[in-house]
Amino acid sequence: MPIDPILDPSSLARELSGRHLINGELVASQSGKNFDVLNPATGKVIGQAADGDVQDVAIAVGVAKKAQKDWAERPARERGKLVAECGRVLMSHTEELGRLIALESGKALRTESRVEASVLADMFVFFGGLASELKGETVPFNPNMMTLTTREPVGVVGAIIPWNVPLLLMAIKVAPALVAGNAVVVKSAEDTPLAALRVCQIMQETLPKGVLNILSGFGPSCGGPLVEHKDVKKVSFTGSVETGRTVYKAAAEKLIPVTLELGGKSPMIVMHDADLDKAIAGAVGGMRFTRQGQSCTASSRILVHEKLHDAFVKKLIDKVNALKMGDPLDEETDIGTIINRKQFDKVRSYIDIGEKEGATKHELSALPTDSALADGTFVRPVIFTNVDPNARVAREEIFGPVACVFKFKTFEEALELANDSDFGLAATVWTTDLKTALTATKRLEAGFVQVNQNLVVQPNLSYGGIKLSGLGKEASLESMLEHFTYKKTIILNME
Ligand code: NAI
Ligand code: MG
């Protein structure tokens, strides 16, 4: 039965409260326990999430295992059509989902949340169309034998998602996993359980029961058991390096494959011949100031040639100052809040550390004055200049609206500085010289390198990092084939 969009996010949050989605039904936790979901802009409770644990994991994985058999038996294109249809249905819920993400995550509706809701739908449409690409090969092994390969689903996939872009990051796991013939159990992030639950509920209109299930709960008590469950045959995780390691170790015990999309400290090199205005727009967008910098690909290390440095800093300050911080649901708002009090404290402590380390702090924009937002986790964007490249703020992922700007003299120096990082997720270079651009793309150590632009995850562009930024690729055909299927070799001896 079609589900009508509910545009009042507060009533939707209440309606979704205290539920997982298992076997097509909204159900409470076995333990009966819930935890509060807050609006970070006010600090007020907007609803509850079901507190899932090992018992709920066992039920959801059992259901998924059973449903996967029939799902995998369907023609690939039929699965693809259903997943694409989910995308089309989700598109009609864009406004509803945008509002709900804004309410529970504090991301501004106009600049972030509504955008995420629409990209989410597009991801399902894109992956739905790839079903026919689940092809194998024939191998010239022996003239008397027919030798071929097929792509087989792995079975039940566990998808563990974070709170910064909860719907899109869920889509790039769930869509390819389903199209490839797997069933999925998602574990949503503690801070953003409701919008993800709503997406899965809407998808039940279209999907057979049990192929997509979602649990809310905490990392160690719900995510941990999901990774450890014997019938989960693949885990796709996005989040912190520390938790990524824990997930990888647990997966190693079972010898199952994992995809890990972890943190970053992405460099942006602005050469002396760059188009300054484009580079400034790229820095504001790339640093995701409108998302309070809560992005794994945030261009948080901005390296500017000495010739442009001062002009760049001045213009960047003006641009960021012009961004309006406020109620995430207000159309006028550019910047919403940090996700929760813990992250707020972490970001604030990094700002203090940066100052103590001797960097020059430029604290920008202004906190909202509305008294209803007095307890919100708003942080003013900070640009640090005169930063020591070995300072903690220059090396560690802050996951907040804090960018470090460095001055360099030579291209070589810029490349060395850019690559001197534990991370390798993304990098950009800004130049009008073709040779510089090509050299930079070759030498920058990152999974995603762009010249004169700073786009985010796109359908069919393989996305994922090297070094501590993770393992494996997402969002592309390659991600579906390599990470959600295994290759079977078959020989038919006709002698
Ligand atoms: P986290 O990595 O702890 O959480 C991400 C997801 O993993 C959540 O769903 C969480 O419940 C789950 N999880 C936590 N412990 C687990 C365990 N033992 N087993 C299985 N699942 C587990 O990240 P958190 O605490 O929310 O944020 C901390 C930092 O992580 C941020 O400051 C940021 O640096 C980084 N981060 C990076 C993200 C990215 O996009 N790469 C997204 C979110 C956070
Ligand atoms: Mg954590």
Say if ligand 1 is within 6 A of residue 296 CB: yes
399 lines ligand 1 (CB under 6 A): yes
Ranges of beta strands (E only) in 19-76 are 20-22, 25-27, 34-39, 44-50
> pTM score, two decimals?
0.98
> Nearest residue CA, atom 18 of ligand 1?
220
Task: For the chain, give every domain's residue range.
Answer: 9-262+469-490, 267-458
Task: Tell me the two tokens of residue 267.
Answer: 């460099």
What tens digit of pLDDT does each residue of 443-462 get?
Answer: 999 999 999 999 999 999 99
Q: Where are the beta strands (DSSP E) in 252-315?
A: 258-261, 267-270, 301-305
Please state the CATH superfamily assignment of the domain spanning residues 267-458 in this structure. Answer: Aldehyde Dehydrogenase; Chain A, domain 2 (3.40.309.10)
Q: What is the CA radius of gyration of the chain?
A: 23
Note every long-range contact of 161-164, with CB atoms under 8 Å and residues 24 or more positions apart, other chains counting: 161/186, 161/187, 161/188, 161/189, 161/196, 161/238, 161/239, 162/189, 162/238, 162/239, 163/105, 163/189, 163/190, 163/191, 163/192, 163/339, 164/105, 164/291, 164/294, 164/295, 164/296, 164/339, 164/399
179-182-188 Cα angle (round to 5): 95
CATH assignment of 9-262+469-490, among 3.40.605.10, 3.40.220.10, 3.40.50.620, 3.40.50.1980? 3.40.605.10
CB-based contacts of 75, cutoff 8 Å, min separation 6:
none
pLDDT of residue 397: 98
Q: Tokens at residue 123, please? A: 């991801």
Distance 239 CA to ligand 1 centre (A): 4
Per-residue pLDDT reduced to its tens digit, 259-299: 999 999 999 999 999 999 999 999 999 999 999 999 999 99
> Per-residue pLDDT averaged across 60-76, rounded?
98
Residue 50: pLDDT over 80: yes
Nearest CA to ligand 1 atom 37: 239
Residue with the smallest CA separation from ligand 1 atom 34 is 399
92 lines ligand 1 (CB under 6 A): no
- What average pLDDT does this structure show over 130-148? 97
- Which pLDDT value is given to residue 2? 87
At residue 495, the pLDDT reads 87
Cα distances from 146 to residues 134, 214, 490, 491, in angstroms, run 19, 42, 8, 6
- Is 228 a residue of the active site? no
Please report which confidence band the pLDDT of residue 354 belongs to, taking 50, 70 and 90 as the band edges: very high
CA separation for the pair 357, 379 (Å, rounded) = 20
* Residue 1 confidence (pLDDT) above 80: no
The predicted structure's pLDDT at residue 338: 98
Q: Decide: 224 in ligand 1 pocket, CB within 6 A.
A: yes
Query: For the segment 167-198, what is each residue's pLDDT rounded down to a tens digit?
Result: 999 999 999 999 999 999 999 999 999 999 99
Confidence category of residue 382, pLDDT binned at 50, 70, 90? very high
- Average confidence score pLDDT of the chain: 98
- Distance separating alpha carbons of residues 335 and 244, to the nearest angstrom: 29
189 Cβ closer than 6 Å to some ligand 1 atom: yes
Average the pLDDT over 68-77 and give the result.
98
305 neighbors 271 (Cβ within 8 angstroms): yes
Does 166 contact ligand 1 (Cβ within 6 A)?
Answer: no
Tell me the CA–centroid distance for residue 262 and ligand 2, in Å: 12
- Predicted pLDDT of residue 477: 98
From the candidates 104, 261, 397, 482, give the one annotated as an active-site residue: 261
What's the CA gap between 310 and 201, in Å, rounded?
51
Amino acid letter for position 145: M
For residues 65-77, average pLDDT: 98
Give the residue, out of 161, 197, 216, 240, with the most ligand 1 atoms within 8 A of its beta carbon, to mutate for a pocket test: 240
CA angle 9/11/17 to nearest 5° reads: 100
Q: How far apart, in whole angstroms, are the C-alpha atoms of residue 361 and residue 380?
A: 11
The predicted structure's pLDDT at residue 166: 98
Q: How far is the CA of 408 from the centre of ligand 1 (A)?
A: 34
